[in-house]
């Protein structure tokens, strides 16, 4: 491809990336060191916004909650995604039907899916989960006002929403594993579990790393699903970082764009810290493949 043709095709994407990614990032960095209100120019305050955020106990709880649900959700997604992908990979004629049914939860808008999912736990809409708990002889659980049960609801909804994506990526990775490797493991006397642990999973390390990357980035940005699933998030300590940003910068008459921007910068740093091990692993695999 000639340079002129390359730039002709690449320029529209470059303009979009600069307009939607680079410029907002630059403005966020600028506002993070300023005191900014709507309709007024910012005043430079140095690191005051970062100090205020790091000294806010509410922000600390939001970081802890977000990191915990990210780690738990990602681990569950990897395990369940792998197990479900194995089952789907063994299907033949019914595979398209099963995939179509599973994709419903993923193609639904996140907020719509979260509202529908919350009805399973809401006694005003039948509360099927509590009815089942009572059937087993237990007491109704306060899914929306107790911290741990509510966190379980948030995690399970996120898994329900993202599982089809994880399963599809892992399924593609399973189908790319050479048949010769599996046959060789079988001939050597390896059990099914040993074949998966010592042959298939190491071969799919890059695919599993990709699923982990996307899962971490998505869960760390949890926001809209908490509106129906955790209506008292701030009060019970189940507020995500993005919900905290919305509260301090936009909601209830708040106009502290500087503090919100500082939290966003800190969140970017947190995402990079959590992703570094997986990014390094992907680059190592790419280097070996060359």
CATH number, residue 235: 1.10.3720.10
Is residue 239 within 8 A of residue 65, CB to CB? The reply is: yes
Q: What's the sign of the alpha-carbon dihedral 139, 71, 225, 84? A: negative
**Going by DSSP bridges, is the β-strand pair 43-44/34-35 parallel, antiparallel, or unpaired?**
antiparallel
Helices (H), 90-203: 95-102, 104-107, 110-118, 128-135, 147-176, 179-187, 192-195, 201-203
Between 276 and 253, the more confident residue is: 276
Mean residue pLDDT across the chain: 87
Q: Which two tokens stand for residue 239?
A: 């507020």
Number of domains in the chain: 1
- pLDDT of residue 285 exceeding 70, the answer is no
- Residue of 180, 270, 176, 182 whose CA lies nearest to 221: 270
Is residue 226 included in any domain, yes or no?
yes
Least confident of 46-60, 85-99, 203-217, 269-283: 269-283
Is residue 14 included in any domain, yes or no?
no
Is residue 257 within 8 A of residue 53, CB to CB? The reply is: no
Which pLDDT score is estimated for 287? 65
Between 252 and 197, the more confident residue is: 197
SS3 content of the chain, % helix, strand, coil (to 5): 75, 0, 20
Q: What's the sign of the alpha-carbon dihedral 205, 208, 214, 216? A: negative
Which pLDDT score is estimated for 71? 94
CA angle 19, 24, 27 (to 5 degrees): 130
Cα–Cα distance measured from residue 192 to residue 289, given in angstroms and rounded to the nearest whole number? 27
pLDDT band at 1 (very low <50, low <70, confident <90, very high): low
Is residue 100 included in any domain, yes or no?
yes
Residue reference for tokens 């699903």: 225
Is residue 189 included in any domain, yes or no?
yes
Residue reference for tokens 């209100």: 37
- Residue of 213, 210, 215, 207 whose CA lies nearest to 173: 207
Say what the pTM is: 0.85
Domain with 202, as residue range(s), is 3-7+28-289
Is residue 18 included in any domain, yes or no?
no
Between 221 and 278, the more confident residue is: 221
- pLDDT of residue 260 exceeding 80, the answer is yes
The values of phi and psi at residue 35, to 5°, are -95, 110
Is residue 131 included in any domain, yes or no?
yes
Is residue 17 included in any domain, yes or no?
no
Is residue 150 included in any domain, yes or no?
yes
């Amino acid at each position: 491809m000639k340079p002129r043709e390359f730039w002709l095709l690449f320029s529209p994407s470059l303009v979009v990336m600069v307009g939607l990614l680079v410029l907002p990032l630059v403005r966020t960095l600028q506002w993070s060191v300023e005191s900014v209100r709507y309709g007024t120019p910012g005043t430079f305050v140095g690191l005051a916004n970062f100090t205020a955020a790091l000294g806010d106990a509410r922000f600390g709880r939001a970081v802890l909650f977000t990191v915990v649900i990210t780690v738990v959700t990602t681990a569950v997604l990897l395990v369940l995604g792998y197990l479900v992908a194995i089952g789907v990979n063994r299907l033949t004629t019914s595979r398209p039907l099963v995939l179509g049914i599973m994709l419903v939860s993923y193609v639904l808008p996140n907020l719509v899916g979260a509202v529908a999912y919350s009805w399973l736990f809401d006694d005003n809409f039948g509360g099927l989960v509590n009815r089942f708990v009572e059937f087993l002889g237990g007491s109704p659980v306060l899914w929306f006002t107790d911290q741990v049960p509510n966190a379980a609801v948030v995690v399970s909804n996120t898994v329900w929403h993202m599982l089809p994506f994880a399963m599809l990526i892992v399924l593609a990775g399973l189908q790319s594993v050479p048949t010769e490797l599996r046959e060789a493991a079988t001939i050597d006397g390896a059990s099914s579990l040993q074949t998966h642990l010592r042959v298939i999973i190491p071969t799919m390390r890059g695919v599993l790393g990709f699923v982990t990357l996307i899962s971490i980035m998505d869960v760390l940005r949890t926001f809209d699903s908490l509106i129906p699933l955790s209506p008292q998030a701030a009060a019970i300590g189940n507020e995500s970082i993005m919900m905290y940003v919305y509260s301090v910068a936009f909601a209830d008459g708040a106009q502290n764009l500087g503090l919100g921007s500082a939290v966003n910068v800190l969140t970017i740093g947190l995402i990079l810290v959590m992703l570094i091990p997986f990014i390094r692993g992907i680059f190592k695999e790419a280097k070996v493949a060359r």
